[in-house]
Amino acid sequence: MLFATGGTIDDSASRSLIALTGAIFIAPFLLFSAIAGQIADKFEKARLIRQIKSTEIGIVVLSGYGFIASNYYLLLLALFLMGTQSTFFGPLKYAILPQHVKKEELTSANAALQATTYMAILLGTISGGLLVGQGETEALLIVAVCASIAVLGRLTAQFIPDASASEPTLQFEMNAMRATTTTIREITYDNQLLLVTIMISAFWFCGSSYLAALPTYAKTLLNSDNQFITLVNVIFTIGIGIGAFTCAVISKNKIKLSLVTIGGGGVILAAFDVFLIGTPVSALNTTTVANFVHSTVANRLLFDLFAIGFFGALYIIPLYACLQRDLNPLRSARTLAGLNILNAVSMVLSALVAIVIYSFGFNEPQLFGVVSFASLIGLGWAWKIWPDLHLNSKGLS
């Protein structure tokens, strides 16, 4: 938000900086995920979660000083540290679910996890949009809000039930490169596990591409103000929340992989429609929350973003439930760490692809078009080799 709307940053630099910040946040997943998976498998998970949430408070304090001092470098360092914190939290978050819920409840549990996660993102997006541009009090307000959320998260973690270590006798491999190679190699031994992880990583590639493009799309092509850019993100997030709820209702205690096909197809169609919108005629007036109803282009874009969020939830939730259902309980966190590594590669790649596309003079709608076309090819390949994705599939119990 800061780079997209900053008045001293031109449009070209804004696009590159948004992609760069995404890469900085994701890099720790690539660097530290294998070690994080080992730690999550060796020790009791609830205690680890509480310790990791405690470190979040310190990172927020550091980022707070960065805001107050208007030090972008310090903010980027804090962003890297938040990525590191998320790297160690991710395998725990997904590995702990199978220890606390039954297999038939995994879809509903993942739907609740995704819905609440994006509800938090929604609140953060709204808060960020409201806080940016508050003048002299902006920095202090951002620090106060972020610190309060970090403390609340730590207090909430205190109530997580204990979850025993998966493999307490595990011997650490501290060489990050060797541990990463081993983790990825073990995923490739199981063809279905490999396919599921690739499909999940493809989701994060597409999602990262679209989310990175949204702020500059709204700013440069719709001449939007900060509040409308916030609305764009809100609509996308609401779509994910409603999609997660719909997925839980439709699944009825089963893992319906046919929803993956429906969800993937819906995302592709909606993203391609963003491409068809193209570059609209520059608006004479700034697009705001108050006047967007008079803009056909703005309304069409908001509908497409809602659809991308809605169908994206239908796509990703059954895949996570399927993955958790078949995890080896002795190495569940390491498998999920391997998934995080592939996700990290996908998201860093999406940032690089975005930078390349922009360097050739292309814009956001064209980025949506390229990614949607690649997604169509990938979904068609998966549908061909995995019969459970067919629409007549009864699902996994």
Which domains are seen in the chain, by residue range? 2-163+175-383 (1.20.1250.20)
Q: Are 209 and 353 in contact (CB under 8 A)?
A: yes
CA dist 265 and 273 (Å) reads 12
Q: Are 303 and 145 in contact (CB under 8 A)?
A: no
Burial of 191 (0-12, 13-18, 19+ CB in 10 A): exposed
Residues 6+ apart with CB under 8 A from 190: none
3-state secondary structure string across the chain: CHHHHCCCCCHHHHHHHHHHHHHHHHHHHHHHHHHHHHHHHHCCHHHHHHHHHHHHHHHHHHHHHHHHHCCHHHHHHHHHHHHHHHHHHHHHHHHCHHHHCCHHHHHHHHHHHHHHHHHHHHHHHHHHHHHCCCHHHHHHHHHHHHHHHHHHHHHHHCCCCCCCCCCCCCCCCCCHHHHHHHHHHHHHCCHHHHHHHHHHHHHHHHHHHHHHHHHHHHHHHCCECHHHHHHHHHHHHHHHHHHHHHHHHHHCCCECCHHHHHHHHHHHHHHHHHHHHCCCCCCCCCECCCCHHHCHHHHHHHHHHHHHHHHHHHHHHHHHHHHHHCCCCCCHHHHHHHHHHHHHHHHHHHHHHHHHHHHCCCCHHHHHHHHHHHHHHHHHHHHHHCHHHCCCCCCEC
* DSSP 8-state code for residue 202: H
Q: What pLDDT does 347 receive? A: 84
* Concatenated DSSP letters of 177-197: HHHHHHHHHHHHTSHHHHHHH
Q: In this structure, what token pair is assigned to residue 25?
A: 């946040």
CA angle at 113 for the pair 112 and 118, rounded to the nearest 5° = 100
CA dist 388 and 261 (Å) reads 10
Q: Helices H, strands E: what count in the chain?
A: 14, 0
Classify 21 as helix, strand or coil: helix
pTM of the model: 0.82
Q: What pLDDT does 73 receive? A: 85
CA dist 297 and 295 (Å) reads 5
Classify 227 as helix, strand or coil: helix
Q: What is the pLDDT of residues 77-117, one digit of tens each?
A: 999 999 999 999 989 988 998 889 888 888 899 998 888 88
Q: What pLDDT does 196 receive? A: 95
Q: What pLDDT does 265 receive? A: 96
Tens of each residue's pLDDT in the chain, 397 residues? 454 444 444 455 555 566 577 678 888 988 899 999 999 999 999 999 999 999 999 999 898 888 788 788 888 899 999 999 999 998 998 899 888 988 888 889 999 888 888 788 777 767 766 776 666 676 778 788 888 889 999 999 999 999 888 899 988 887 878 888 888 888 888 888 999 999 999 999 999 888 888 877 777 767 776 677 778 878 888 899 999 999 999 988 789 999 999 999 999 999 999 999 877 665 545 566 666 666 777 788 889 999 999 999 999 999 999 999 888 888 889 999 999 999 989 988 888 888 888 888 888 889 999 999 999 999 999 999 999 999 887 666 5
Q: What pLDDT does 259 receive? A: 95
Nearest alpha-carbon partner for 259 in 211, 300, 319, 219: 319
